[in-house]
Amino acid sequence: QKEVEQNSGPLSVPEGAIASLNCTYSDRVSQSFFWYRQYSGKSPELIMSIYSNGDKEDGRFTAQLNKASQYVSLLIRDSQPSDSATYLCAVRSWAGNMLTFGGGTRLMVKP
């Protein structure tokens, strides 16, 4: 079992819809959670970070964390074709500052 798991997709949503991306992790003592967006051949771009249970909103993005269920999600409202990318969930455990990534979910927003 991978430490961080995501559905590889592709997740296809129409323009203007809400895209929901999910991630589970196995290390109960993980402390910090991040969502990165990565366009093909480009570097990961940090879009959201979340550290405590609940929701965190930033513009069209909402991150949700449930430590009891070891689950973190990202909602993208009013999805745009430019949101089409791979979304990487990353987790930092107590053991060090390195990030462990999930396999990424490819999102396709269709006009």
CB of 100 to another protein, least distance (A): 7
In angstroms, the CA 22 to CA 103 distance is 11
Asked if residue 107 binds another protein (CB under 8 A), the reply is no
Asked if residue 52 binds another protein (CB under 8 A), the reply is no
CB of 36 to another protein, least distance (A): 8
Q: Are 4 and 90 in contact (CB under 8 A)?
A: yes
Q: What is the number of other CB atoms lying within 10 angstroms of the CB of residue 64?
A: 18
- Which of residues 36 and 73 has its CB atom nearest to another protein in the complex? 36
CB of 41 to another protein, least distance (A): 8
- Which of residues 83 and 92 has its CB atom nearest to another protein in the complex? 92
